[in-house]
Amino acid sequence: MRTKALVPALLLLLAPLATACGGDASGASGSRTVTVTVGYQSKTINTVTAGTLLRSLGYFEQELAERGKKDGVTYKVDWQDYATGAPITAQMTAGKIDIGSMGDFPLLINAARGKELGQATHLVSVTGYNLRGGLNTVVTAPDSKLESLADLRGKKVSTSVGSAADGTLVRALQRAGIDPDSGIQKLNQQPSVGASALQAGSADALSQFVAWPGQLTYEGRAKALYDGAELNLPTFHGVTVREKFARERAGVLDDFLRAQRRATDHLRTEPVAAAESVAKETGLPAEVVYLYNGANGIATFDPALRPELVDALKQDVPVLKAAKLVGDVDVDGFVDAEPLKRAAAGAPEYPKAAAARPELWLKGQARTQSFDSPRELLKAARGADVRAAYVPDAVTGTLWFADKAVWVAEGPELRAFVTPAGAKAYVDQHRESGARVVSFAEAGALAS
């Protein structure tokens, strides 16, 4: 009898003190603990204001601590890191992740799966965007003979089906007159697997999202073949939330969005420090992080649900439908601007993306220098202790590493291009003015 009497007491002592997904738990003292589960992608660095950077800054926890003082609840955050958006969606539709961040194409799949499985989700903010599509790039091996997208006909191309990078590949091939289903041998692979396949020679090209193209190029393991900005279609990453969580924990969602905005402020005012922080957390080179997230980076960080981004999302639906990954998606029903309006009430709007400028990062410096022209940048870099130099593509505006760009000399002017095809197209149109492709070294000599 004595043993039986102890059982309920033991069970009480062993009961969990916290539950996940916005759930409550009461300890012996009667205090409550609420755990908020956030899914993010540490190496998809255009989500850092809702993931890696936000986590390292502790802003969300600070906001929740203030809330906890008012309502007598202890809030905890469970950060869960994933390589892509697909597993985040799987966990959200299972009710195990409350808030997640991912790219535009995965966001649509998130919306579709949530509706199908009775776990509706909503897009509530943006992290980073590029109005022309420059966040996705097709790269080849450094010694590849491929020079343009047309050369991919019949070749093996690695991508992640259902990702924004796959969407870029499909659209680019269609514009080049190549059937994206039968015109190439598509390899559906995770980014890291595709990078290894490219290096091993089992893939002829790789179409991927940030930061893979920049990282592989920076490390000398790839060169750009196609700049996604040639499509001139916006691409972005955003934050999605479970509808049930947003309804039951509206204040907590507001706290997250306020914290995201604080992280955005930090990134925009301290871009070098932010890049160094993200590099430390992810193991990515800071120079690569800065290529995308810097002052003139490929991505512009702004949580606003801009109309042009929502319109772009609608244009993405047919691509995913053709791949049989979704049916119809009610984009207007998926987008919910109200939480951000509440969280950012009274806050000034961020300026719209501006044209990128050449930028120089010297070793040992916590600030970069911007220039009015590629020539000025090359002149300043000559003989300097350069950590990284960046130049925008003369046509698309996509920022790229100066020493990896394709250079064109035209009289006194020097222009940079992300891809050989971009440089060739420009030279073909400007032969009468003496336009010609030159090496990086020759461009540097001409600048000085």
What's the pLDDT score for residue 3? Answer: 42
- Amino acid sitting at position 117: L
* Nearest C-alpha neighbor of 211 from the set 315, 316, 285: 285
pLDDT of residue 15: 38
**What pLDDT was estimated at residue 367?**
95
Phi, psi for 332 (deg, rounded to 5): -60, -35
* Residue whose entry in the numeric block shows the structure tokens 């981004």: 309
Percent of all residues in the chain with a pLDDT value above 90, rounded to a whole number = 92
Residue 2 has pLDDT above 90, yes or no: no
In this prediction, residue 352 has a pLDDT band, given cuts at 50, 70 and 90, of confident
Using the predicted structure, report yes or no on whether residue 14 has a pLDDT greater than 90: no
Length of the chain: 448
- Residue 22: the pLDDT is 72
Q: What does the pLDDT look like over 146-170, one tens digit per residue?
A: 999 999 999 999 999 999 999 999 9
pTM above 0.85, yes or no: yes
- Mean of pLDDT values over 87-107: 97
Q: What are phi and psi of 187, to 5 degrees?
A: -105, 115
Omega before 425 within 30 of 0, i.e. cis: no
pLDDT digit string (tens) for 281-321?
Answer: 999 999 999 999 999 999 999 999 999 999 999 999 999 99
Residue 396, pLDDT > 70, answer yes
Give the integer Cα–Cα distance in Å for 304 and 119.
24
Mean pLDDT of the chain: 93
Query: What mean pLDDT is predicted for residues 31-57?
Result: 96
Q: State mean pLDDT over 368-375.
A: 97
